[in-house]
Structure 1
Amino acid sequence: MDAAWLGLGGLALSAFLSATILPGNSEIALGAFLYQWPDWWMMALLLATVANSLGSATSLYFGRLAPKKEISGRALVWLQRFGPSALLLSWIPLLGDALPLVAGWLRLPVLPCMAWIVLGKGLRYGVIVLGIKSLL
């Protein structure tokens, strides 16, 4: 098996875990991958975006499993005020991990939530890829 494909697998795993409450550092994995295989930037961008979005979808799902109770917090206030569009910020460390979880708990509609999640994460990884490419 080609080393680049193994690298993509590691990138996907890191991106998935980074979107959950589990530790992961997909930015470093993306940078390391692009350092080795700079011509694969589009594949890396798409894979990181999809895997990170799937991690957030997992959090959204687990949030839907939680029984509704009264809670408070910054993520709750944002989601109640802005609805699914607040999930554009799901790429932000720590706060972003909580947003999909709370969105699921609030039973926000899944498709709009996922559209905003994918957009935010795609933009973030796009900026990272452009930055890395400018350094190589």
Structure 2
Amino acid sequence: MLLTIGAYAGLFGAAFVAATFLPMQSEAILVGLILSGDYSLPVLVAVASVGNTLGAVVNWFIGRGIERFRDRRWFPVSPQKLEGAQRWYRKYGKWSLLLSWLPIGGDAITVVAGVLREPLLPFVLLVFIGKTARYVVVAAVTLGLV
């Protein structure tokens, strides 16, 4: 029982961290847990999806507050890149959050959504849909269903 809780907690933590700018591979952990056959597939997908979505919410909060530091020397993004990202988000809007699962650019979309004050509820719903779809595909491929 404790091992099962630990596995789910580990997957949740990996998925949470993977949604931030810190490097983590939650898909590899999900695949390993699926292949072990010891865990409920729907629970694994749900845990990974919720953890990854909540990690994206952290990015949204960072975006809400980070713009006030844009003129600091240590700011990680040039003003031109930040403006470009904002233009891109304004062009494609909240629907771009369905792409938040992408390994390159996905985290940036969630931060920019915070910068541009995307309301939290639509943000969470769209990010959850995108991230859940990714984990469902990973599970299906792992099981040879696709």
Q: Normalising to structure 1: TM-score of the pair? A: 0.90
Cα distance in 2 for residues equivalent to 1:115 and 1:82:
17
Q: Which runs of 4+ in 1 moved over 4 A?
A: none
Residue 118 of structure 1 is matched in structure 2 by: 128
How far did residue 37 of structure 1 move? 2.9
Cα distance in 2 for residues equivalent to 1:130 and 1:41:
10
Residue 4 of structure 1 is matched in structure 2 by: 4
How far did residue 39 of structure 1 move? 4.8
Q: Deviations over 1:57-98 (max 9, x none)?
A: 11001100123565333x433311121111000000120011
Residue 64 of structure 2 is matched in structure 1 by: 64
Residue 23 of structure 1 is matched in structure 2 by: 23
Identity %: 34
Cα distance in 2 for residues equivalent to 1:13 and 1:38:
19
Residue 101 of structure 2 is matched in structure 1 by: 91
Residue 47 of structure 1 is matched in structure 2 by: 47
Q: Deviations over 1:10-51 (max 9, x none)?
A: 111110011000111001010111112355111000000000
Mapped pair 1:82 → 2:92: yes
RMSD: 1.7
Mapped pair 1:105 → 2:115: yes
Describe the SS at the equivalent of 1:93.
coil
How far did residue 4 of structure 1 move? 2.1
Residue 75 of structure 2 is matched in structure 1 by: none
Q: Normalising to structure 2: TM-score of the pair? A: 0.84
Are 1:4 and 1:37, in contact at CA under 8 Å, matched by a contact in 2? no
Unaligned runs of 5+ in 1: none
Q: Deviations over 1:89-127 (max 9, x none)?
A: 000012001111011011111111111100000111011
Cα distance in 2 for residues equivalent to 1:35 and 1:5:
17
Describe the SS at the equivalent of 2:40.
helix
| Equivalent pairs, count | 134
Unaligned runs of 5+ in 2: 71-78
